[in-house]
Amino acid sequence: MASATGRNLLELIDGADERGLAAAGLACLDRCLPLLTGDGCDALRPVWAAVARGDGAAWGEAVARARVELDGADGTADARAVRGMLAEAPAAWSADALRAWTAVCSVTALALHGRYDAADVPDGLVERCRAGDADGAGPLLAGELRRQQAVLETVAHGPTGLRRARELSVEGGRVLRAVVSRRARTA
């Protein structure tokens, strides 16, 4: 699945600056939050504000507060995966740390979305999607891939792209919440 710039997700992550990386990882976490909280939650709002300011000290503090606010019982494997994304968020506002975290968040978010697709996700599909080959991806996995690419592309245009990144996260969270809710009703 090609992005608007023609670059695959791996290339977009490699080329992102600190703000883009922080926004991309945070957006993945934000879209998966319904698997942890079930409904809307504002725990990540201060983290988004720190990203908007590009403030490394505020970032570390906001991440620490979000960890405390979202701490709880392990719950399902999905909830543990989401909590793990937050646990791995670096306190340091550095390109290397943020790039590694964003890569983990990207893989986790794609895998979680793929698990809710109608068909099973074959081994290696998530990595193929990240490299630009989305052949065989179901609608949820493909949608998450598009959102990840769009976040990185819009944030690359500066701080004004953060609003669009946040909108994509809210939209993606709603989609995932609806799918989870529908599954719970039919189970």
pLDDT for 98-110, tens place per residue?
A: 999 999 999 999 9
Give the C-alpha separation, 60 to 53, whole Å. Answer: 13
Q: Does the predicted model carry a pTM greater than 0.85?
A: yes
pLDDT for 16-58, tens place per residue?
A: 999 999 999 999 999 999 998 766 578 999 999 999 998 888 9
What is the per-residue pLDDT for 89?
96
Q: Residue 164 is encoded by which pair of tokens?
A: 């669009």
Give the burial string for 80-112 (b: 16+ CB within 10 Å, else e).
Answer: ebbbebbeebbeebeeebbbbbbbebbbbbbbb
- What is the DSSP secondary structure assignment for residue 43, as one 8-state letter? T
DSSP secondary structure letters along 139-167: HHHHHHHHHHHHHHHHHTT-TTHHHHHHH
Whether the predicted pLDDT of 71 surpasses 90: no
Number of other CB atoms surrounding residue 173 within 10 Å: 21
